[in-house]
Amino acid sequence: MDLSFSPEHLAFREEVRTFIASAMPPHLKEKAAADSHFEHDEVMEWHKILHQKGWVAPHWPTEVGGAPLDVTSRFILTEELELAGAPGLSPFGLVMVGPLLIQFGTPEQKKRFLPKILSGEEVWCQGYSEPNAGSDLASLKTRAEDDGKGNFIVTGQKTWTTYAQYADWIFCLVRTDGSAKKQAGISFLLIDLKTPGVTVKPFLTSGGTPAFSETFFEGAVVPKENLVGPLNGGWTLAKALLGHERTLIAAVGASTRAIRKVKRIAARTQKDGQPLLDDPLFRAKIARLEIKLRGLQMANYRAIAGAQLGRAPGPEASILKIRGSEIQQQAYELAMEAMGLASLTWFNEPGVVHPEEQWVPSLFNYLRATTIYGGTNEIQKNIIAKLILGLPER
C-alpha cells in the first residue's frame, strides 16, 4: 500500500494553502491565529466562501453539488483547513444528514434538502442522545406515533444537540415501535425546528461556550414524508451516519496545529532561566505525543487509501476516533502545563496573556467532550473488540 502523496496531490495542497491565504477575511484570520471561538455568523460566512469555491462538500457526488476531488485530495483539503485554524463548518448537514439523504433519501427529499445544505441556507443539528440513552443509543425513548392522518406525533427529549439554537432542522432517531427489540423499533425522521411543540434550550459547555442544547418535543406534528429510509429501519441509517462522524473526529490537522502551539508556548516560557522547550522532560512529553500523532496519521492514511479503493469506513473509524480524541486532549494538557499559573483562569481577557494562549483553558475544558461525543471511547473499544479482534460478547 503506497501511503505517499503524488506530485498532483502535493500541487493541490499548495493550491489549498494559497486559496485559504487569499480568501479568508482578515477578521477570521485574526481569530484563527488565536484559536478563538468563532461565532455562528462567522462560521456561516466561511461556509459561503467555501461554497462559492465549490469546496463546501467535496465528499458529495458531483451530480448533487460535490467537488471533483478524489479521496486523497479531500483529505488534504480538510487537513489544510484544520492547520490554518479556519472556522470549522457545521458537520450535521454536510457530513451527516446530507450523505445519508444521498444514500437513502427519496428523490423529493434530495431535491428539497440538499441544495439548501450546500448553500448554507438551512442549518442542521443532530437529535441522537437522550438523557437516559447516551452511549446506549438504542434505549432512546422519544417516540413518534402515527396519527392516521399522514403525520407522526413526536414526544420526548434530546440532549447535547450541538448548536441547535442556530439550526433550522434536526434529524432525529425516534421510536416508532415500542414492542419490537430496541434496535428494530427505531426510525430516522427529519423535523423542522419551527414546528409548534419543539423547544430548544441552549446551555454553556465546561469551556464557557454556548455549544450545546436540550431539545424538547411536546406533541410536534411531523409529516410522514420526512421519514428517511424504511419505517423501523432507522438503526441501519444511524450506524452509517456514526461511521462518518467518528472518522471526522480523528482531526489530525487540528492536533498537529495544537502541538505546534505547545512548542511556541514552551519556547516563550522560562523555567530556571531557560526556555521550557529546552527542558529534557518537557521535550520528552512533546516527543511522545508527536509519536502518537504520527501513528494516528498513518492509520488515517491507510483508511484514506482504503476509501480510494472504494471501501466504506469500517470499524477502523473507532480506532481513529479513540486515538484522535485522546491526542487532542493531551495536546491541550501540555499547553496548560506550559502556561503554568496563567492557565488557572477560566478565560483570559485580551492583554493578560499572549494572544495565542487566551483560549487555551477554554479549549482544554471543551475538549473533555471529545472522548464522549460521537460514541464514547468505551463504546468504541467494545466495537474494536468485537469487529476487529473477534472477541466474544460478555
**How far is Cα 271 from Cα 279, in angstroms, rounded to an integer?**
8
CB 124 within 8 Å of CB 168: yes
Reply yes or no on whether the pLDDT at 124 is more than 80. Answer: yes
| % of the chain at pLDDT higher than 90 | 60
pLDDT at 2 over 70: no
The domains found in the chain, sorted by start residue, are: 7-89 (no CATH), 124-232 (2.40.110.10), 246-389 (1.20.140.10)
pLDDT reported for residue 337: 96
Predicted pLDDT of residue 33: 87
Better-scored residue on pLDDT, 210 or 371: 371
Beta pairing partners, 218: 155
Which of these, 343, 337, 338, 335, lies nearest to 361 by C-alpha position?
Answer: 343
pTM to 2 decimal places:
0.85
- Answer whether 325's CB lies under 8 Å from 371's CB: yes
pLDDT (tens digit per residue) in 42-85: 999 999 999 999 999 998 999 999 999 988 898 899 999 999 99
**With 90 as the cut, is the pLDDT of residue 300 above it?**
no
Packing angle of the helix pair 252-268, 316-339 (nearest 10 deg): 10
Q: How confident is the model at residue 71, as a pLDDT?
A: 81
Q: How confident is the model at residue 286 (pLDDT cuts 50, 70, 90)?
A: very high
| Cα–Cα distance for residue pair 247/95, rounded to 1 Å | 11
More confident residue, 135 or 284: 284
Say yes or no to pLDDT of 5 above 80: yes
Give the pLDDT of residue 37: 84
157-200 pLDDT tens trace: 999 899 999 999 999 999 999 888 888 899 999 999 999 999 99
Query: Is residue 120 very low, low, confident or very high in pLDDT (cuts 50, 70, 90)?
Result: very high
Residue linked to cell 470549522: 88
pLDDT at 133 over 80: no
As a whole number, the mean pLDDT across the chain is: 90
CA within 13 Å, CB half, 40: 15
Contact present, 289 and 330 (Cβ < 8 Å): yes
The pLDDT of residue 247 is above 60: no
103 vs 97: CA distance, rounded Å: 10
Parallel, antiparallel, or unpaired for β 186-192 and 198-203? Answer: unpaired
Q: CA-CA distance, 147 to 48, in Å (whole number)? A: 40
Q: What is the mean pLDDT of residues 339-364?
A: 84
In this predicted structure, which of 150-159, 160-169, 302-311, 325-334 has the lowest mean pLDDT?
A: 302-311
Please give the positions annotated as active site: 245
